[in-house]
Amino acid sequence: MTSYEDLAKRLGVNLDTETLRLALTHRSYAYEHGGCPHNERLEFLGDSVLGLSITNLLYRSFPDRSEGELAKLRAAVVSSKALARVARAIDLGEHILLGEGEIKTAGRDKTSILADTMEAIFGAVYLSLGFVEAEALVLRLVAPLLDDKDAIGAGMDWKTVIQEHAAQAGMGAVVYVVEGEGPDHQRTFTAEVLIGGTAYGTGTGRSKKEAERAAAEHAWERLDPERRA
């Protein structure tokens, strides 16, 4: 069994080798091999297939959720972090065709490359087998993330969630206070989020953005009734 056949079997789709190879061809590989076709057009197509499949699932599965809540769930499930999580679970990285530069910089485990390739596969399945098969693949691989709180949390834009909640509830301005410590090459940041002057959460990270995101998530754990229950 070839590497492509093994991957197709793992995906559970009867996708021909040529189309699957195209879906796995990163632009860095194409540039180093005479400008051969790469997967970005399939990625563009697969992004829409993924979005529609998940949107349809959320609409039917959560009749009591508002449009805003559904949009946040969808954003979390189709985020690069969530898709890369799926890709790692099926060892997709080992099959991706990369240029030497990407190989040397651990491109096979880069979140962006894994997520983009996952979308390209969805696009390839749609193009070759139709929407029903493509949607089935999306639901088989991605839908389980809806039950994975870690996966949802990793893909959620917590700062936007906090900002919108504070505005809707009239809680006052959202302010992040960030401090850093340690040498420049190994700096750690701690953030505290204040809403209307009251502290609601703290978080740490290797960058200010990461620390602020962690603080916002911590604050939401205190503010969300479902999490407090």
Binding-site annotation: residue ranges for Mg(2+): 43, 116, 119
Q: Is 119 a catalytic residue?
A: yes
Q: What is the DSSP string of 47-102?
A: HHHHHHHHHHHHHHH-TTS-HHHHHHHHHHHTSHHHHHHHHHHTTGGGG-B--HHH
The residue from 119, 192, 212, 217 that is catalytic is: 119
Q: Is 148 a catalytic residue?
A: no
Q: Are 102 and 26 in contact (CB under 8 A)?
A: yes
String of b and e for 14-51 (b: at least 16 CB within 10 Å)? ebeeebbbbbbbbbbbbeeeeeeebbbebbebbbebbb
**Which two structure tokens, joined as six digits, stand for 221?**
């754990």
Q: Which residues are annotated as a binding site?
A: 43, 116, 119
Distance of alpha carbon 210 from alpha carbon 203, whole angstroms: 8
Specify the length of the chain in residues. Answer: 229
The residue from 5, 16, 18, 47 that is catalytic is: 47
Q: What is the DSSP string of 112-175?
A: HHHHHHHHHHHHHHHHHH-HHHHHHHHHHHTGGGGG-HHHHHHH--HHHHHHHHHHHHT---EE
**Which two structure tokens, joined as six digits, stand for 37?**
């076709």
Distance of alpha carbon 111 from alpha carbon 109, whole angstroms: 6
Q: Give the residue numbers marked as catalytic.
A: 47, 119
